[in-house]
Structure 1
Amino acid sequence: MNPSPPPFAAVLVDFDGVVNLWDPDGMPALDRAAGLPEGTLAAVAFEPGLLEAAVTGRLTDEEWRARVADVLAEACGSADRARALVAGWSAPTGRIDTDLLDLLTALRARVPVVLVSNASTRLESCLAARGLAGSFDAVLNTSRFGFAKPDPRVFTEAARRAGVPPQRCLFVDDTPAHVQAAREAGLTGHHYRGIGQLRDAVAPLLR
């Protein structure tokens, strides 16, 4: 009897919140140090219109962060203090979950693994600086592509780069809306809440 084929022919994985983890107190701590109410920096940096411009490439990473500093200048009391706050926010790069990276490396021996990230134009340099440039079979940085999750074109393009139909892709993301959008595009969506659940989901690929 022939063994049944694995349930997925590719794994598409988000970066921030899955592979790359952030200190939840990072931005609030910067607000406090600058004498601002907690949430001030995040509200400006992740204002939907400004963030969308950054992750679809209408603004470079440098332009995005400069815009954030401009908006914060009044609240900070001066442009210099605002630029210092943004520099403090820009310096950390998060913490790579090495256990998750090991799991993805094991999966790459069986199927393509594609990084799919709503990211600014600094993603590639960040990956290279942290020794991750060769850790994925392909990288879809939305700021280079021009569309961002949950746009269905992102999932179609990620599957194309993996070389398999969308219906044969497992999409892993910590944002429920992105997971739902992937399912609507025909992929199998996995809402990432920890490595244990993901190990269970991909176990058939590693047998």
Structure 2
Amino acid sequence: MTPLVPPASRPADDSSGKALPFDAVLCDIDGVLRHWPAVDAIEQAHGFDPGALAAAAFAPARLLPAVTGAVADEEWRAGVAADLAAAHGSADRAAALVAAWSEVLPRVDPEAAGLLTLARATVTVGLLSNGTTRLERDLAAQGLDTLAHTVVNTARIGVAKPDPRAYLTAAQLVGADPGRCLFVDDTPANVTAARETGMTAVHYRGPEDLRAALAPLFPG
């Protein structure tokens, strides 16, 4: 985790002297900053129907332990392969599919990355993600590990969005009161939960939503 900017060192206003509406930005990663490609071709290449991988990997009973740190990323992926083998009858093909899927990289949205970089010059920026224990390694591989002041990985804090404790812990880690945090996420349930903790929350549907939300931080 990269060091936080101490609250006392954060600018209280922009270069024009105007008071800012929030002290910290908390932004989701996947669906905002990164976008994962479809894996239909990989599934079909290994003899599985499209959607089989997602059904196994994102089943709540399989996913929740991974994004709350109860199991490591490697154990989660091994479990996904076991579930695929049990459902479709081939352990070798299931293991090969999971291995190929594990090598896929998401597309980074340069506009979202640029906007968060600009925001970082004015307020504390944190990335809040329902991630597995592999998240930090993946961010570093794509040069995203220094984009924000800190990464709040739910696998490290033991609770995942939309649990209110995830937002409150993230606010604490960025040194801001929840009421002074802007939260951005592409999942409506996560946005609703953030608002219930007192945060200003924006449902992300495209870069224009992030641009509008961050506009008060940018002079002119």
TM-score by length of 1: 0.94
- Residue 21 of structure 2 corresponds to 7
Q: What is the distance in 2 between the residues matched to 1:54 and 1:110? A: 34
- Residue 141 of structure 1 corresponds to 153
Verify the 8 A CA contact 2:47 2:93 in the aligned structure 1: no
The Cα of 1:52 is off from its aligned counterpart by 0.3
Q: What is the distance in 1 between the residues matched to 2:87 and 2:165? A: 38
Match of 1:200 among 201, 212, 218: 212
Q: Which amino acid aligns with 2:32?
A: V
Verify the 8 A CA contact 1:116 1:158 in the aligned structure 2: yes
Q: What is the distance in 1 between the residues matched to 2:105 and 2:44? A: 20
The Cα of 1:3 is off from its aligned counterpart by 5.2
Q: Does 1:130 align with 2:142?
A: yes
| SS of corresponding position for 2:128 | strand
The Cα of 1:70 is off from its aligned counterpart by 0.9
Q: Does 1:190 align with 2:202?
A: yes
The Cα of 1:75 is off from its aligned counterpart by 4.2
Match of 1:91 among 96, 99, 103: 103
Counting only pairs closer than 5 Å after superposition, residues 67-78 of structure 1 correspond to structure 2 as: 67-78=79-90
Q: Give the unaligned 5+ runs of structure 1.
A: none
Verify the 8 A CA contact 1:34 1:76 in the aligned structure 2: no
Counting only pairs closer than 5 Å after superposition, residues 7-156 of structure 1 correspond to structure 2 as: 7-23=21-37, 25-26=38-39, 28-156=40-168
- Residue 13 of structure 2 corresponds to none
Equivalent residue pairs, number: 204
| SS of corresponding position for 1:172 | strand
Match of 1:174 among 170, 183, 186: 186
Q: What is the distance in 1 between the residues matched to 2:17 and 2:72? A: 48
Q: Give the unaligned 5+ runs of structure 2.
A: 1-15
The Cα of 1:4 is off from its aligned counterpart by 4.2
Q: Which amino acid aligns with 1:7?
A: P
Q: What is the distance in 2 between the residues matched to 1:181 and 1:148? A: 11
Q: What is the distance in 1 between the residues matched to 2:78 and 2:212? A: 43
Q: Which amino acid aligns with 2:72?
A: T
| SS of corresponding position for 2:156 | helix
Verify the 8 A CA contact 1:36 1:75 in the aligned structure 2: no
Runs of 4+ in 1 over 6 A off after TM superposition: none
Q: Does 1:164 align with 2:206?
A: no
**CA deviations over 1:93-135 (Å, ceiling 9, x no partner):** 2011111111101000000000100000000111112222211
Sequence identity (%): 54
Verify the 8 A CA contact 1:172 1:190 in the aligned structure 2: yes
**CA deviations over 1:37-67 (Å, ceiling 9, x no partner):** 2211111100011100100011100000000
CA RMSD of aligned residues (A): 1.4
Verify the 8 A CA contact 2:43 2:50 in the aligned structure 1: yes
Q: Which amino acid aligns with 1:127?
A: L
